Amino acid sequence: MARKNKILIPEARESLDQLKGRVMKAKGYKVDMQNPDNVKYEVAKEQGIPLKKENNGQLTAEQAGKIGGPIGGNMVKEMIKMAQEQMKRN
């Protein structure tokens, strides 16, 4: 499945995927560290949302948010924690 979301610095994709894997694994999800983006299917299943590997045009914005929100929200929390720790060291 092609990724439609774009990040500002494409070279950061691998690091962001690693962060996603670490964060979601710490939250108790089964994560394939070779493909951490697949954790979205586990989150969708937990929420009762029919996410498929192909076209998901039938999903509402609310459903998509229930999948991406916990993933992105937890990643942001971890990045803030990392930044705070780095500022303490400096």
pLDDT higher than threshold 80 for residue 79: yes
Distance CA 22, CA 18 (A): 6
CA dihedral 30, 42, 67, 16 (to 10 degrees): 40
For 57-75, write each residue's pLDDT tens digit. Answer: 899 999 999 999 999 999 9
Rounded to two decimals, the pTM is 0.80
pLDDT higher than threshold 50 for residue 1: no
Domains of the chain, by residue range, sit at 10-50+61-89
For 12-23, write each residue's pLDDT tens digit. Answer: 999 999 999 999
pLDDT of residue 3: 58
Structure tokens at 25: 């694994």
Could you tell me the pLDDT band of residue 43, with boundaries at 50, 70 and 90? Answer: very high
Distance CA 48, CA 43 (A): 9
Task: Calculate Rg over the CA atoms of the chain.
Answer: 14
